[in-house]
Structure 1
Amino acid sequence: MVNAGKRSGRPRAGEERLSREAILTAALRIVDDEGIDALTMRRLAATLQVNPMSLYHHLPNKAAVLAGLAELVFANLELPDPGDTVPWDEQLKTAARAYRDGLRQHPNLALQVLSDASVVSNVVVVTMEPFYRALDRSGLAPRQVFEAANTLIDFIHGFSLGEASVRAETFELAPDLLARVQALPPGKAPILTRIVSELGSTGLAYDFDSGFESGLSTLTAGIAATARGR
């Protein structure tokens, strides 16, 4: 006699097509559209039209879902090795741009990924390979490669956090900066006053693409100078 309190082994409608990939795809859609706080296991199950308990066969908790989403974001960052046909500094810039773009495509997730190191711990190894590969070809010593790679990643993470929080291609660094500087007593912060005045109000607008390229070029030039000094 079958116990009415037990479910049969047959999956409910919709559960037979359930997979880890389907769950993560739906989760990413929720996060992109509504933010990380909107993502719950119950909400995810409702979106997929399945029993919430069926999700746990594929992903045991929300933390596992977030880790899986990090994998999706970083999945395309294992760049192929171009060999010596591309200069090391261009390889490094390509890796940095790809890393930033991966985060920029999903700003809601980026804030979570970058504030919780455990989320990216399992995927960071392969995503760092293009950085290490390019830096190794620059001629740096192993310790210098390690430190340079970490500095670059820190730069991209910090930049991406700012970019994700603003959600615009440009913004004004300080809307009243020009007025504040011009109101300073004579001789107070003279260099700042001169630079800001020369730029004017339109020159103080910040463009994220330009800012990223400027910072990346500065870091790359510093790495090249360090390599030449060995």
Structure 2
Amino acid sequence: MVNVGKRSGRPRAGEERLSREAILTAALRIVDDEGIDALTMRRLASTLGVNPMSLYHHLPNKAAVLGGLAELVFAGVEQTDPGDAVPWQEQLKQAARAYRNALRAHPNLALQVLSDTSAVSEVVVVTVEPYYRALDRAGLSPRQIVETVNTLVDFIHGFALGEASVRSETFDLAPDLLARVQGLPAGKAPTLVRVVSELGPEGLAYDFDSGFESGLTVLTAGIATLADRDR
């Protein structure tokens, strides 16, 4: 007797080409174009032209999809070990730049990296080795390495989120800031008034690339001081 309620072993049209990579690629396209809230298993299945249940053979739930997206996006930032040919400070900066570029390429995924534990864990696994390697060469202890990487990654995350919210290469803070500072009562925040007045509009124009490099320079200098002190 044939059970007509069951599907045959043959996949439906479209499902024979389904794979984990194809699902994640489609999911990333949805997130990039429409944001993380647009990503559902039903929407993903519709985009791929398959039955929603067929997705679960490759990725068991949405959390697995998000973790897979983190893997897909950030696996490319892994770097080969340059050895001692490159100073540890530059190795650290190169790793930070690569991570920032991955976040910039997919800004709608940036916040998800911060808020989803499975995504964060996946990112940690595929991205932190260059940081750990550089800081180990700097002479930091295991505890210092973990805490320093956490601080550095927090800086990159915060910077990337601010950058993604503006969606431009520069952030023109100068006109509003100058007006507010010039309107302060006499004697209020005298150092702020002096510095802003000396810089003027051109000096206050904020460039994200320059700002990121300045942040890396400050952090790297502090790490070097920490390493020298303990040594």
Partner of 2:143: 143
Q: Per residue, is there more helix in 1 or in 2?
A: 2
Q: State the alpha-carbon separation in 1 of the partners of residues 86 and 107 from structure 2.
A: 30
Deviations 1:109-163 (A, max 9, x none): 1121123233221341331111010011112233222221111111111111111
Work out whether residues 169 and 208 of structure 2, in 8 Å CA contact, stay in contact via their aligned partners in 1: yes
Give the partner amino acid of 2:126.
V
Partner of 2:209: 209
Work out whether residues 114 and 161 of structure 1, in 8 Å CA contact, stay in contact via their aligned partners in 2: no
Q: State the alpha-carbon separation in 1 of the partners of residues 219 and 30 from structure 2.
A: 36
Work out whether residues 78 and 130 of structure 1, in 8 Å CA contact, stay in contact via their aligned partners in 2: yes
Aligned residues: 230
Q: Pick closer, same or farther for the CA change 1:176–1:70 going to 2, 3 Å.
A: same
Please give the TM-score of this superposition, normalised by the length of structure 2.
Answer: 0.94
Give the partner amino acid of 2:107.
P
- Where 2:58 maps in the other structure, the secondary structure is coil
1:60 Cα deviation (Å)? 1.3
Which structure 1 segments of 5+ residues have no match? none
Does residue 195 (structure 1) correspond to residue 195 (structure 2)? The answer is yes
Give the partner amino acid of 1:81.
D
Q: Following superposition, which runs of at least 4 residues in structure 1 exceed 3 angstroms of deviation?
A: none
Give the partner amino acid of 1:2.
V
Partner of 1:168: 168
- Where 1:176 maps in the other structure, the secondary structure is helix
Partner of 1:38: 38
CA RMSD of aligned residues (A): 1.4
Partner of 1:13: 13
- Where 1:122 maps in the other structure, the secondary structure is helix
Q: State the alpha-carbon separation in 1 of the partners of residues 164 and 211 from structure 2.
A: 14
1:62 Cα deviation (Å)? 1.2
Q: Sequence identity of aligned pairs in percent?
A: 81
- Where 1:161 maps in the other structure, the secondary structure is helix
Partner of 2:128: 128
Work out whether residues 111 and 164 of structure 1, in 8 Å CA contact, stay in contact via their aligned partners in 2: no
1:173 Cα deviation (Å)? 3.2
Q: State the alpha-carbon separation in 2 of the partners of residues 160 and 176 from structure 1.
A: 23
Q: State the alpha-carbon separation in 2 of the partners of residues 167 and 198 from structure 1.
A: 29
Work out whether residues 74 and 123 of structure 2, in 8 Å CA contact, stay in contact via their aligned partners in 1: yes
